[in-house]
Structure 1
Amino acid sequence: MSQLFTLTITPRFYETDGVGHINNVSIAGWFETARIRAMESLGAEGELMHWVLASIKIDFQGETFYGEEVTATVTAITPGNSSLTVDCQMTQQGRNTAFGRAVMVHLDRDGGGTAPMPQEMRERLSGYGKGAG
């Protein structure tokens, strides 16, 4: 699979500060939406409740403003044994505004800690983002 997942976000006024910049907390929420929708697009709807966020890092590369759509592109999903690393780039009017990397951990269905990622999901992720663009 080489097709990258892309989501268009329309900033809402309440997500801004006093001069029209998008609040950093809103951008973290947008990254979550892109991650979850990308996983859903790969057929992981039934698995979502078995994944927890272990870490998130956001590099703010430029200002994001109210009034112009933002594109969130999941550029890579890298599987580990019991985790996924998800990279996402946000752009507005062709400018990079933020890059996010999240690590999600797969939980055992019986609540006993981490568990290996299901093989079916690993196969769906094989080649994600490779050769795209």
Structure 2
Amino acid sequence: MYRTILEPRVSETDGVGHINNTTLPVWFEAARNPLFSLFTPDHDFGKWKMVIVKTTLEFIKQIYFGTDVEIRVWVKKVGNSSLELYEELYQNEVLCAKNTVVYVNYDLTAQKSEKIPAEIRQELNKHLLG
């Protein structure tokens, strides 16, 4: 499992006093940085590999400014060229949101998916959801 701690910002708080629901996809994506580094170590967007094809976000509890959040990311499934992640967001050790996301290992130049390399697959398998 990958863990990321984020500090909510005032600008992410909406008019009813909680973190705006449009913020969570951005936070979940920030927690995927270690995975992005596996596929594109130098973060060169000209060689970028991970292309999102599906995400499903479930809101469970409200999230507030003033207390850090923790995002936990597991690898749910590794396919030939795709990767499914399961993610949870906690504030004060309370589950506030869940997300699943599917990425494809993609060659932008050729405009087609590519098989996930064995060394990346090996690292992903260390973070499988148990």
What is the TM-score when the length of structure 2 is the normalising length? Answer: 0.86
- Correspondence for 1:68: 67
CA shift in 2, pair 1:59/1:18, >3 Å = same
Q: Deviations over 1:80-100 (max 9, x none)?
A: 111111111000011110001
Q: Is 1:7 aligned to 2:17, yes or no?
A: no
Match of 2:29 among 32, 35, 40: 32
SS in 1 for 2:52: strand
Q: Is 1:84 aligned to 2:83, yes or no?
A: yes
- Correspondence for 2:41: 46
Which deviates more from structure 2 when the two are superposed, residues 55-64 or residues 101-110?
A: 101-110
Q: Where do 5+ consecutive residues of structure 1 fail to align?
A: none
| Structure number having the greater helix percentage | 1
Contact 1:38/1:74 (<8 A) preserved: no
Partner Cα distance (1:120, 1:75) in 2? 18
Cα displacement (A) at 1:72: 0.4
What is the TM-score when the length of structure 1 is the normalising length? Answer: 0.84
Contact 1:77/1:125 (<8 A) preserved: no
Which deviates more from structure 2 when the two are superposed, residues 8-17 or residues 120-129?
A: 120-129
SS in 2 for 1:124: helix
Q: Is 1:99 aligned to 2:95, yes or no?
A: no
CA RMSD across the alignment: 2.0
SS in 2 for 1:98: strand
Contact 1:108/1:114 (<8 A) preserved: yes
Q: Where do 5+ consecutive residues of structure 2 fail to align?
A: none
CA shift in 2, pair 1:125/1:115, >3 Å = same
